[in-house]
Structure 1
């Protein structure tokens, strides 16, 4: 790259609250974790300026307008449910009227921005359909048709991705065998979208153009658990994510 391009990653964080029962007594522990490091390292190593908002930060600080989002060449949503972006704390707690940030993402893409949605328990429809992106404004600028319910395809035995469109820039130089994944979100490609890679009998990477912008749906994870160590340590991992984001951003 001749100049630094900016990407905003929202999500890829969680808090685990555990109850430890020891006979009559119990105690609790809380642990905060992030799963973004492999993706962030891959993009920063390719010259991208990465701005990262964990889910609890994005709930308040994710931009409200397409104009604010236009400061970034690409927006990535990874394991962050629609409610986190819809229900700003000032709206949920104080009943304050605020812009719909899912509408802002749609308008950003139509105006020329790049969007990447990365699979997980809280993207697409997700576990128990709680991610809830189906029939939202974001779905209007993704090249996939989401299922109505829980769309997880758990594959603990492992399932190998396959390149379906070898001439697409997203998979340039990556036609060789890929490491196995342990699961993904099921969806179908829309008519004018391109299935770039598959996993099992389903799409893994779907690329599409909307208005002046582009979007990529990646059905699996960018880190554990669905993307096991063999995948995140795969030499093609960095190339894949740089090419996904670069294509979406049009750079």
Structure 2
């Protein structure tokens, strides 16, 4: 039996810092993978995840429907639109494939797509994720703002389940806090369902939403799948593991 496989694009970071002592300065760098909690949550689930680090997406993300078809689902997490649009050919000034249009066609034809939140997801903390008004957003259950959309909430925002669904089955109605998310607008279409939300400054913001699009499925999870917006309390709870597995199974059409 063929193993069901997810392509996870993004969630890697190169961190640099400079320490100054008087007139002497030294620098250091380290590499971080924010997807480790997500990957651990799917261990033993029978779902294989192939991670393509963000810095390799420009050169290695699939450029054809045939290549995408080898994956049962694609997850974009903390990887900007530019990282997908700038193919090696485009960098050389030659025409190439629009991979955001390609992903929309992949979903319409029966694939599954998830976008998870982060500083470079949706429109992004500083507007640099830049998915607003792209073909990819056409298939999502939410639309992106035209301006920076990041919300930092160090005091915590409490997610509340708003709709019964296979993804939320067996989970409590309230979850541990998140520490931030991307502000988005839920689509007002019959094929879109809001599953969980948070309240920020008196406004209800989508946290988890799903959509049937063409022959495929899409999902928006507007907070991190790892730290820092995903609080340690949430990451270390049984809810996190169950939620991530349910999301993956729904994308795989096992729910």
Equivalent in the alignment of 1:227: 230
Equivalent in the alignment of 1:88: 87
* Corresponding residue SS for 1:194: strand
Which of the numbers 239, 244, 247 marks the counterpart of 2:247? Answer: 244
1:179 and 2:176 correspond: yes
What is the aligned length?
248
Gaps spanning 5+ residues in structure 1: where? none
Equivalent in the alignment of 1:118: 116
In terms of fraction of residues, the more helix-rich structure is: 1
Q: How far is the alpha carbon of 1:89 from its aligned partner?
A: 3.6
Q: With structure 2 as the length reference, what TM-score do the two structures score?
A: 0.93
1:160 and 2:158 correspond: yes
Superposition RMSD on alpha carbons, in Å? Answer: 1.3
Equivalent in the alignment of 2:38: 39
Residues 126-184 of structure 1 deviation map (CA, whole Å, 9 limit, x = unaligned): 12210001111110110112111111121110011000002x11101113431100000
Q: How far is the alpha carbon of 1:248 from its aligned partner?
A: 2.5
3 and 236 in structure 1: CA distance in 2 versus 1, 3 angstrom threshold? farther
Structure-2 separation of matches of 1:176 and 1:136: 33
Equivalent in the alignment of 1:67: 66
Structure-2 separation of matches of 1:206 and 1:245: 14
Q: With structure 1 as the length reference, what TM-score do the two structures score?
A: 0.95
Structure-2 separation of matches of 1:176 and 1:133: 31
Gaps spanning 5+ residues in structure 2: where? none
Structure-2 separation of matches of 1:87 and 1:28: 30
8 A Cα contact 2:125 2:151, kept in partner: no
